[in-house]
Amino acid sequence: MNASIGAAIPRGDARPKVRGTARYAVDVELAGMGHARLLRSPVAAGRIVRLDLEAARRAPGVRAVAAASDMPSRLHGLVLRDQPAFASEVVRYEGEPIAAVVADTLAEAETAVGLIELEIEEWEPVVDLDYAISEQARLVHPDWESYQMLIEGGFPRGGNVVAELAADPDGVDAAFASAYRVVEDAFGADRQYQAYLEPKGALASYEDGRYTIHVSHQFPFAIRDRLAQVLDVGLGRIRVIGHHIGGGFGAKLDLGLEPYVAVLARLSGRPVKLVNHRTEDLITCPSRENALIRIRTAVSQKGEFLARELHCLLDSGAYAIDAPFLVSLPLLLANGAYRVGPTRVSARAVYTNTAPTGAFRGVSGTYLNFAVERHVDHIANELGLDRNELRRLNLLDDGDRLPNGQTLDDARSLHEAFDMLDDISTTKEVGSGGWRGVGTAATVWLTNPLPGSAILKLNEDGTLGVITAATENGSGAVAMGLRQIAAAQVDVLPDQVIISMPDTDSAPYDAGSQGSRTTHIVGRALVEAGEELRRQILSKAAQILEAAPEDLELSNGTVRVVGAPSSAIPLATVALKATADGASITATGSYATASPRYDPTCASGFLFPTFPTPTYHVHRAEVEVDPLLGTVTVLRYVVVQEVGKAINPQGVAGQIQGGVAQGLGYALWEGLQIGSDGRYRQRTFEAYRLPLAVDVPRVEIVLLENGHDEGPFGARGVAEPPVVPVAAAIANAVADAIGAPINRIPITPADILDAIETVNRHATA
């Protein structure tokens, strides 16, 4: 294998980033641009009684003011058209945009927003999930029936239920009726804010009927497509230019501020820039949804999982966005990494008067894994079995199926992973102290299958150009993964690879940095493009060298006749000749993962039905609890992960370490709590507590590399899943340490002290 593959080569974009010269959207300036601010709803629910924009329009420096009447009247949406760009008659969450102003300076725009006269008749917001689906709840969308679904055949929904999945296979009740024991649990999880360091921002200009949008965004083509929908214009009317991305973690996959800069640019006739303040970013960001989960399992005396029921309510917030997809996850993940008999699942996404929730690395997997793995520990305790042995007894293996009927032909990796984990860590005694505990969690995860493509061109100096809309969100998937794959496939040095920034006008389609797909999907597209590029190179070199192409070899940027070193010519010579001959060397590659086979009759409302290119993960945490303060110190954290092939082990380690850190935050500190007024209680980085360097241990990482046949050089997806099992492993460790269940995340000191007190009361009673 080429030396670029598997090497810890520094990322291609590191130098401008350490020098402070890398430009993010918030750093971009366009000549003559104005600065915009939004008027956002100060309350979670109500009717707009009066909106008067006149004083704002007349304010100094103001160039344009926009509101609902400046947009097409049709609602927009990813799967369901239920959302207006600007609220007009009603507001449905705190922070919902109502109007936008652009002025010469930011201060003038802020002043003008303050002059808008807004009167809202406030309503009691719908907040609680159980209440929202009850008969007496006010409908967040009284017109829900009129909304257009963008999925062929539609999906089950109604009232405050945005979307519903239901699976009810035969045999569940019979298995429960005859089981040795039934174990039951209820779990809850708060929202988690993606907390990327670069707040959302966007710039737009408008000329000749076309919008040019500048973004730091994970999915430029989604901006093109969704903005075209919002503005009701053709796709060709929109060009999206991507800049460096200051973190996204899923929150920069769908529309953000783009509609507002676009309409203001058209109305004002000049470029417009808009950037969120941190608090407005936090309170309006589509965070990971809060959820409630009930789970019960019928077990045999030996500990086999005979049947299961899992019911999940997840909070979609005021609009659907991706929730109709997300209700599929409770079915796919109901059994985690374990073999379980027939499994009944219901999952409902619920409208509330809160900010719409959305994608965050690992999506619903984080709390579903928490529920399933806490439940496994509970079953072990109930049956008096060793937790690790119970896991291994039920662990998925080659040929086992997920609840959707999809066969896993490589789940043996889970057993390998457990073997490696048990070699280096233990589930028994950890240290001397009495308040220490250990927890384990495992998961199967997917590599997002959506299509990607790239163009390779051999430049006339022998460097290799890569034109792609794949985005470098920080993960290294482009700056390490694609760079090294392109270098290896054409056999040049990585520093000879030049990768374009995303531009929807010039790059072929890419489905964005989501679900660990970039290295796997676009890498595979590059492998295909690289093969064609090599064919063209050898063909042209054969003309120059007067040899047959099959007698030539290409390595290290040079073509030579095999066995005749003196015949070597550099790639620059080949490229110059090809260009001069009117046949410049260029190739395109495209790839999407074929859908795995599954049983489409296994559930209704099943819009996200498979786990393509599966990966396997086992995590173990050792913690110490302070019984007086209720705080948790993570003593040790071990990850064994199946990656297929680590194209850059340093990058893979960075993804695992970073994903675990986000998972620790989710488990222990981060949590957006919603008051009865529908407003978040945490509104700043001071109140919303992110993990710091003193909080996060150095993760011990073991990689399994069972190469994937379809992946570039065997690579599978890497970056998303390390966040998934963390809350479960930590919660199991904390529960082990204190001898009491932990059924809510984040695990707060108050929860821990309450749990300890409950145990003590039982002990003395």
Partner 1 sequence: MNLTFALNGRTASVDVEAGETLLRTLRDRLSLTGAKEGCVEGECGACTVLLDGQPVDSCLLPSMSVARRSVTTVEGLGSVDTLHPVQAAMVDSGGVQCGFCTPGFIMVLVALLRENPDPTELEIRQAVSGNICRCTGYAQIVDAVIEKARGAM
Residues lying near partner 1 in the complex (CB under 8 A) are found at 8, 10-11, 13-24, 26-27, 194-199, 244-247, 249, 277-278, 473-476, 650-651, 653-654, 657-662, 684-686, 690-694, 696, 698-699
Q: How far apart are CA 441 and CA 617, in angstroms?
A: 8
Q: Which is nearer to partner 1, 10 or 405 (CB)?
A: 10
Q: Which is nearer to partner 1, 417 or 661 (CB)?
A: 661
CA 173 vs CA 307, 344, 471, 557: distances in Å: 8, 9, 48, 66
What is the maximum span of the chain, computed from C-alpha positions, in angstroms? 94
Pairing of strands 464-467, 452-458: antiparallel
CB of 335 to partner 1, least distance (A): 29
Tokens 């599966």 label which residue?
A: 614
Contacts for 107 with CB less than 8 Å, ≥ 6 apart: none
**CB half-sphere exposure, 230, CA atoms < 13 A:** 26
Strand partners, 189: 291, 745
CB of 480 to partner 1, least distance (A): 9
Strand partners, 120: 48
Read off the tokens for 400.
């086992």
CB of 744 to partner 1, least distance (A): 24
Tokens 């079953």 label which residue?
A: 379
Give the DSSP per-residue string, 230-248: HHT--GGGEEEEE-B-S--
Q: Which is nearer to partner 1, 300 or 650 (CB)?
A: 650
CB of 11 to partner 1, least distance (A): 7
CA 277 vs CA 63, 100, 407, 683: distances in Å: 21, 15, 47, 11
CA 350 vs CA 64, 157, 354, 693: distances in Å: 37, 10, 11, 36
Q: How far apart are CA 610 and CA 404, in angstroms?
A: 7
Q: Which is nearer to partner 1, 424 or 687 (CB)?
A: 687
Q: Which is nearer to partner 1, 196 or 616 (CB)?
A: 196
Q: Which is nearer to partner 1, 22 or 137 (CB)?
A: 22
CB of 722 to partner 1, least distance (A): 9
CB of 295 to partner 1, least distance (A): 30
**CB distance 204 to 234 below 8 Å:** no
CB of 563 to partner 1, least distance (A): 39
Q: Which is nearer to partner 1, 278 or 339 (CB)?
A: 278
How deeply is 751 buried, as exposed, middle or buried, from its count of CB atoms within 10 A (0-12, 13-18, 19+)? middle
Q: Please give the distance of CA 518 from its chain centroid, rounded to a whole number.
A: 12
Q: Which is nearer to partner 1, 201 or 614 (CB)?
A: 201
CB of 603 to partner 1, least distance (A): 35
Helices (H) and strands (E) in the chain, counts: 20, 29
Q: How far apart are CA 195 and CA 213, in angstroms?
A: 23
Q: Which is nearer to partner 1, 229 or 516 (CB)?
A: 516
At 559, which helix (H) or strand (E)?
strand 558-561
Q: Which is nearer to partner 1, 474 or 612 (CB)?
A: 474
CB of 653 to partner 1, least distance (A): 7
Q: Quote the DSSP letter at residue 687.
A: T
Which phi and psi (to 5°) does residue 534 adopt? -60, -40
Q: Please give the distance of CA 716 from its chain centroid, rounded to a whole number.
A: 16
Q: Which is nearer to partner 1, 259 or 665 (CB)?
A: 665
Q: How far apart are CA 206 and CA 237, in angstroms?
A: 10
Q: How far apart are CA 22 and CA 631, in angstroms?
A: 39
Q: Which is nearer to partner 1, 559 or 664 (CB)?
A: 664
**CB distance 351 to 93 below 8 Å:** no
CB of 495 to partner 1, least distance (A): 13
CB of 122 to partner 1, least distance (A): 28
CB of 148 to partner 1, least distance (A): 36
Strands (E), 72-209: 80-81, 90-91, 97-103, 117-122, 148-149, 161-167, 181-189, 201-207
CB of 277 to partner 1, least distance (A): 7
Q: Which is nearer to partner 1, 620 or 708 (CB)?
A: 620
CB of 179 to partner 1, least distance (A): 42
* The one-letter amino acid at 13: D
**CB distance 448 to 362 below 8 Å:** no
Q: Which is nearer to partner 1, 268 or 648 (CB)?
A: 648
**CB distance 488 to 4 below 8 Å:** yes
Q: Which is nearer to partner 1, 477 or 545 (CB)?
A: 477
Give the DSSP per-residue string, 580-606: HTT---EEEEEE-PPPPP--GGG-BS-
Pairing of strands 181-189, 90-91: unpaired
How many C-beta atoms lie closer than 10 Å to residue 749's C-beta?
15
CB of 424 to partner 1, least distance (A): 18
Q: Which is nearer to partner 1, 371 or 719 (CB)?
A: 719
CB of 33 to partner 1, least distance (A): 12
